[in-house]
């Protein structure tokens, strides 16, 4: 018998000890997993660089071109449509975040995400950008951001540039977006760059991209954006694309889906009937409670 005041030893079978150790290890593993899921927000949400995320859309199907269309596309790249030289190119307006790239605050990005993306072949880089927040000494806070490029991005820009005028239109602030675009557009393929101040507010949404700032005639203008609310004012000119994240290293939307679709649109004198038949965006907006007056403003 153990002396009074001295704790008696309790025998615990080894199998029970191993089981408890396993349970503790699994609990620790799931805590780490939950922490990763909670602490990997996208930069637009952390730093308020861009507007709210968009609802999901089904991917565009891969466009299979008939043989007789291939020669037509070659003519388009040479500035010829229907046998006549056409001086005005198609204007392709491209969104930035979750369309061409995805960005994360570096300090909140788990190393495993970067490692897995790199091993899968995703290209990435880091930039510094100024936040609207202030340091304790009153100086602007500098945020370090890790940016992942959507697969095929550089080639996509070059090939679209051959038959269209490229415009970058982002709801992101310029202090964030400008250094980012400088890295992905080293050849200055974008004819114009538009940032948050170029967006407008409507009765339904803020940071809407009004394409009328580019031209009064939008028959040959198309906008590609993962957030359909961005082209709320011109629903017939929009292509809602699938959002991109670092967890999609084998995404093929740019080269296999969007590029052929844009080439086909470049054959059209007016892209709006084709886009309406494909997406029926006015009806989609009305289903989500947007009045017709907003869509036709």
Which are the catalytic amino acids? 95, 97
- Residue 142: Cβ within 10 Å count: 12
- Element holding 271 (H helix, E strand): helix 271-279
CA-closest candidate to residue 245, choices 51, 94, 32, 43: 43
Q: Rounded CA gap, 171 and 63, in Å? A: 29
Q: Rounded CA gap, 63 and 72, in Å? A: 15
DSSP letter at 107 equals G
Q: Rounded CA gap, 106 and 126, in Å? A: 8
- Residue 1: Cβ within 10 Å count: 4
Q: Rounded CA gap, 98 and 51, in Å? A: 11
Non-local CB neighbours of 232 within 8 Å, separated by 6+ positions: 202, 204, 205, 208, 285, 290, 294, 295
Q: Rounded CA gap, 169 and 153, in Å? A: 16
Strands 90-94 and 164-169: parallel
DSSP string, 203-255: SS-SSB--GGGT-S--TTEEEEES-GGGGTT-GGGEEEPPP--TT-TT--III
Token look-up 């466009």 returns: 63
Token look-up 């018998």 returns: 1
**170: its two tokens:** 């982002």
CA-closest candidate to residue 231, choices 276, 269, 281: 281
């Amino acid at each position: 018998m153990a002396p009074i005041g001295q704790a008696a030893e309790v025998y615990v079978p080894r199998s029970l000890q191993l089981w408890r150790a396993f349970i503790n290890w699994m609990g620790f593993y799931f805590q780490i997993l939950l922490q990763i899921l909670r602490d990997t927000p996208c930069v637009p949400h952390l730093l308020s660089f861009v507007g709210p995320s968009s609802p999901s859309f089904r991917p565009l199907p891969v466009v299979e071109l008939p043989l007789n269309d291939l020669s037509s596309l070659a003519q388009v790249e040479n500035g010829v449509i229907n046998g006549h030289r056409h001086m005005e190119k198609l204007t392709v307006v491209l969104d930035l975040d979750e369309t061409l790239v995805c960005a994360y605050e570096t300090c909140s990005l788990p190393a495993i995400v970067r490692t897995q993306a790199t091993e899968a072949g995703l290209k990435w880089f880091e930039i510094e950008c100024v936040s609207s927040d202030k340091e304790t000494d009153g100086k602007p806070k500098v945020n370090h951001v890790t940016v992942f490029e959507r697969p095929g991005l550089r080639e996509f820009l070059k090939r679209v540039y051959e038959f269209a005028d490229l415009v970058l239109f982002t709801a992101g602030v310029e202090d964030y977006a400008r250094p980012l675009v400088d890295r992905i557009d080293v050849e200055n393929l974008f004819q114009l760059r538009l940032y948050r101040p170029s967006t407008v507010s409507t009765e339904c949404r803020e940071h809407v991209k009004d394409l009328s700032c580019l031209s009064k005639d939008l028959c040959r203008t198309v906008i590609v954006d993962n957030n359909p609310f961005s082209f709320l004012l011109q629903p017939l000119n929009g292509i809602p694309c699938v959002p991109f994240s670092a967890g999609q290293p084998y995404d093929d939307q740019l080269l296999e889906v969007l590029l052929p679709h844009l080439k086909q649109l470049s054959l059209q004198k007016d892209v709006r009937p084709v886009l309406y038949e494909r997406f029926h965006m006015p009806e989609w907006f009305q289903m989500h409670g947007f009045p017709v007056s907003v869509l036709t403003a």
